[in-house]
Structure 1
Amino acid sequence: MKNLIYIAAVIGLFGLAACNKTDEDSPTEDYLIKESLFNANSLLSFERITATLEDGTTAECFQLSFSSNPVANGPFCAETVNDIAGLSVYDGATNPGLRLWAADFLNDMEADGYDIVDSNGNVNIYDFVSGAINMNQSNCLDAAPNDDLELTFIIPANPKLAASNNDIEEVELIGLSLDGVPINGDPPSAINGPAMNGPGGGAGGTGGTATEINIPSLDPCGGHHDPAGYYHWHFVPQVMNQVLVANGITATSCTKITQTTTTQLVGFAKDGFPIYAYATPPTDLDDCGGRTAITNEYPDGVYHYVASTTSAPNVPQCLKGVAAQNAFQYN
């Protein structure tokens, strides 16, 4: 309850300032979200609009558009039993959890009855563009990139507390990074298929336990390409190396995203609250992994979500605010 009072106070502070603005003033001066915070190399447009929120009300929002795939990424699937590559969150019977694509993981999947390695030691890989998927074998999913997409996000300008927490579902959008990379919830289940019609799971993602599986791969920073071709994260990568070590993975590391050594603003949740990575995690987090505190960007204090340094995935499991309808689109 104490943290909710802090959240409401911070929202009131920013909302009051915004209401006192005139048309001649900068449209972003008193908002949490400012254009200057984002990567100018991938940001295509930044507009203030009126949009409908998920609770049916209308509100001022920011509409941000980015070019797809603005950050270096990979590797994903191991090509052979001798390779070390990316990661997957495995929910099979043998050694479930965050796994490294290497011989031990491949052997565990084979032991669980999933035919993912051929007779020559090559891993079955499907990229969503090379014809129909072979349903008589298990496959590592590694979608081909499409660098020509435009990704558009709609985020409330003044965060509004929801009546109850929004528990993040599998692959649900959580927010965006400062580069414009979508941040999503848990990746699809390898065994049972996706809860929200994404790739993965038995029988090509139709759900239900199957004799063969299609398991999404992630790179060592916790991201991969959607079947449409845009790269997105299921982890907050700026503390990924701590997550890897906490989960017993030391043979690879996230080298393409700089690991924070302090406290770093990494993006915004779809409800408008910031997301931070802490090298040393605070101990006063609420049930959504958030806290109200002073940061470099917000010297008066701000409610924000904090990425876990141990959990896999390490993204917020719920959000406190109300998001916009159709908060994310691509074309």
Structure 2
Amino acid sequence: MMFPSQPRSQSARNCSIFTLGALGGMMVATGAFAHAGEHSVADGALVSPSEIVDCTLETGAAAECARYVVKYLPDDLEIGPFCPATLADEGGIWHWDGDEAGVYRINEDFLRMLDEQGYTFFNDDGEVYSFDIRTEQPVETNECIQATVDTDVEMTVLIPANPVMAEEKTDLGTVAQVGIGLDGVPIFADAPSVLDTGHMPALDTCGGHIDPGGWYHWHATATDLNTVFENEGVAAECLNVEQDQTAQFGYAFDGFAMYGTLNQDGSVPDDLDECGGHIGRPEQGEEPVYHYHSGTTFPNLPTCLVGVVAQDNFSTNAAGGIGAANAGGGPGGPGGAPDFDAIAEALGVEPAQLEQAMQDAGGRNADLNAVAEQLGVSVDALQAAMPGPGQ
């Protein structure tokens, strides 16, 4: 169990540790939605009925998982807007991490602020540069990214039915796999930065967008996103998803449930660990179990996972994008999220080693000499394995 990021009493801390120990590291819940089951994901998102199947955890242990095969988009979910066509239009939102960082509505004020910082997304006529990442390549240095859907795409997701605590937490970096919503929409960590790619993979006002593979996914806890807008003073509102600060949003890939910012009784959790979770009663009358809560700043998702995920827990028949057999690029566009699997294979190291070395050496501005030294490879070999511009 990780130490909490917020102070709490010693008695509460001891209670959490005792609960984990008494259950032998297993957090098995009794409520209908506290752990993943056959009926946990909305029928309107499913390609075929969900089921409990045998699976293998990343530790090698045999387990049971809820298996969900979901559509490119649930039947009843409206999405957008994403990129504005002109400076006079209101688009979606973006989490800007340069100067004057924060969450912004993609509109004239925001785009002119970026222009002053050297990122120009519009021409002299006020037309916003944008491209469809599924079918096009950018032609300008800075373009807003959106995508069209591919109605033939489906994703297969495995969620442990009986979550198991891991020996160490797993940090969630850019575009890391977080989980699946009860609506059947996959959930991923923060989208690639404009500072990395020059391009902006716009999110709609509920915190989602279409992957280069042609399917929609979340980058936020959509059921509690208005809390973030209010907290950060953003003139936006999620209208396509019902807002409820106490409701369950979905499941993380380790099997633990994800809820809004408030406890079931409406109180504010005061004992969250560094991943944004704690042991408590997720629903009225249920036994206390570990679960995550969303944050009040963007992205309002867990920053790490405390449990063990299943092997091969996310795959898709899409031609490209996250989880595809020939995945390349990413929601950040060409040169966006690195394909750690491919780079690691070329270097003869594990993807987790590579990602950790990059993080240790400075993240997006990593010192490649330090990365190469940590991995025990030459700088020339590392540079040769990294994608070049447009790859």
TM-score above 0.5, yes or no: yes
| Residue 108 (structure 1) aligned with residue 91 (structure 2) | no
Instruction: Specify whether residues 110 and 13 from structure 1 end up closer, same or farther in structure 2 by C-alpha distance, changes over 3 A only.
Output: closer
Normalization by structure 1: what TM-score?
A: 0.83
| Residue 302 (structure 1) aligned with residue 285 (structure 2) | no
| Residue 117 (structure 1) aligned with residue 102 (structure 2) | no
Q: 2:130–2:144: 8 Å Cα contact kept in structure 1?
A: yes
| Residue 237 (structure 1) aligned with residue 251 (structure 2) | no
Tell me the residue number matched to 1:22.
Answer: none
Q: Distance in 2 between matches of 1:190 and 1:220?
A: 18
The one-letter amino acid of 2:237's match is S
Q: CA deviation at 1:39?
A: 0.7
Instruction: Specify whether residues 285 and 29 from structure 1 end up closer, same or farther in structure 2 by C-alpha distance, changes over 3 A only.
Output: closer
2:89 to 79, 83, 93: 83
Tell me the residue number matched to 2:373.
Answer: none
Instruction: Specify whether residues 4 and 123 from structure 1 end up closer, same or farther in structure 2 by C-alpha distance, changes over 3 A only.
Output: farther
Q: Deviations over 1:15-57 (max 9, x none)?
A: 9x9xxxxxxxxxx999822223321122223222222222233
Classify the secondary structure of the residue corresponding to 1:246. Answer: helix
Q: CA deviation at 1:240?
A: 0.7
| Residue 258 (structure 1) aligned with residue 242 (structure 2) | yes
The one-letter amino acid of 1:37's match is S
Q: How does 1:268-287 map to 2 (within 5 A)?
A: 268-279=251-262, 280=266, 281-287=268-274
2:280 to 293, 297, 300: 293
Classify the secondary structure of the residue corresponding to 1:36. Answer: coil
Q: 1:14–1:30: 8 Å Cα contact kept in structure 2?
A: no
Tell me the residue number matched to 2:304.
Answer: 318
Q: CA deviation at 1:278?
A: 3.7
The one-letter amino acid of 1:187's match is A
Please state which structure has a larger fraction of its residues in strand: 1
Q: 2:37–2:66: 8 Å Cα contact kept in structure 1?
A: no
Normalization by structure 2: what TM-score?
A: 0.71
Aligned residues: 296
Q: 1:65–1:150: 8 Å Cα contact kept in structure 2?
A: yes
2:184 to 180, 185, 193: 180
Q: Distance in 2 between matches of 1:158 and 1:249?
A: 38
Q: Distance in 2 between matches of 1:249 and 1:234?
A: 17
Q: CA deviation at 1:284?
A: 1.8
Q: CA deviation at 1:320?
A: 0.7
Runs of 5+ unmatched residues, structure 2? 1-12, 318-391
Q: How does 1:1-331 map to 2 (within 5 A)?
A: 2=14, 3-7=16-20, 9=22, 12=26, 14=28, 32-43=35-46, 44-70=48-74, 71-93=77-99, 95-134=100-139, 136-192=140-196, 201=197, 213-250=198-235, 252-260=236-244, 263-279=246-262, 280=266, 281-296=268-283, 299-308=286-295, 310-331=296-317
Q: CA deviation at 1:137?
A: 2.7
Q: Distance in 1 between matches of 2:279 and 2:177?
A: 23
Q: 2:27–2:162: 8 Å Cα contact kept in structure 1?
A: no
Instruction: Specify whether residues 29 and 242 from structure 1 end up closer, same or farther in structure 2 by C-alpha distance, changes over 3 A only.
Output: closer
Q: 1:31–1:157: 8 Å Cα contact kept in structure 2?
A: no
Classify the secondary structure of the residue corresponding to 1:106. Answer: helix
Q: Distance in 2 between matches of 1:311 and 1:68?
A: 28
**291-300 or 176-185: bigger deviation:** 291-300
Instruction: Specify whether residues 9 and 147 from structure 1 end up closer, same or farther in structure 2 by C-alpha distance, changes over 3 A only.
Output: farther
Q: 1:82–1:102: 8 Å Cα contact kept in structure 2?
A: yes
Q: Distance in 2 between matches of 1:138 and 1:156?
A: 41
Q: 2:65–2:161: 8 Å Cα contact kept in structure 1?
A: yes
The one-letter amino acid of 1:244's match is F
Identity of aligned residues (%): 34
Classify the secondary structure of the residue corresponding to 2:184. Answer: coil
Q: CA deviation at 1:258?
A: 0.6
